[in-house]
Amino acid sequence: MKAHYFSTVLAVCLITIGVMLRILPHPANFAPITAIALFGGAVLPKKVAVWVPLVAMMVSDAFIGFYQLMPLIWACYLLIALASSQWLRSGNLYTGVTLTAAASIFFFVITNFGVWLTSGMYSHTWSGLVSCYTLALPFFRNTFLSDVVYTAVLFGAYALATRTHNRRVAVRA
């Protein structure tokens, strides 16, 4: 299979998975978009990788509904895909685990700061900021778990498929 065709098919599959798993019923903040950004950044060409999580968010947000922090959230996924394309292309398991945890923490810190800053739910004081982050911890648990699970599944399935393909090619040769 030609590399360009493979990248296109993989990108469309990842977008479809991302959209479906965001619009189907699921636990709060248990979604595959960070994992898709990490995986896409690691295996797809950079120009494609940055669009995969963004298109998945655009399409699923069109179904779910638009919201105030949408540009901030989309920017987080864009930066996660860029980081992955920089550090996971030739990375190892340690790098992958570290970047997955860092992406979860980054998303939590940035998006909850945005909630604190713009929602009006919290006073714009240190106490209000601490309260915002404290009340968001249960959501972080689900975000972190989904990032770990979906990232492991995507990279594991990809490694298995690649290994199986390489064995078949070796047997034919």
Mean pLDDT estimate for the chain:
90
Residue type for position 151: T
Could you state, in order of their start, the residue ranges of all structural domains in the chain?
A: 3-172
Average pLDDT (109-121) is: 96
Q: Three-state DSSP class for 13?
A: helix
Specify the higher pLDDT residue, 119 or 6: 119
Burial of 69 (C-beta count, 10 Å sphere; 0-12/13-18/19+): middle
- Rounded to 5 degrees, φ, ψ at 138 are -60, -35
pTM (predicted TM-score): 0.89
Specify the higher pLDDT residue, 160 or 148: 148
pLDDT in tens, 28-50: 899 999 999 999 999 888 888 89
**Residue 121's pLDDT is what?**
94
Give the rounded percent of residues in the chain with a pLDDT score beyond 70. 97
Average pLDDT (13-23) is: 89
Instruction: Please state which CATH class domain 3-172 belongs to.
Output: mainly alpha
Q: Determine contact, residues 113/130, Cβ cutoff 8 Å.
A: no
* pLDDT over threshold 70, residue 3: no
Q: Using CA atoms, how far apart are residues 4 and 9, in angstroms rounded to an integer? A: 9
Q: Sorting pLDDT into bands at 50, 70 and 90, what band is 161?
A: confident
**How many Cα atoms within 13 Å fall on the side-chain side of residue 78?**
11
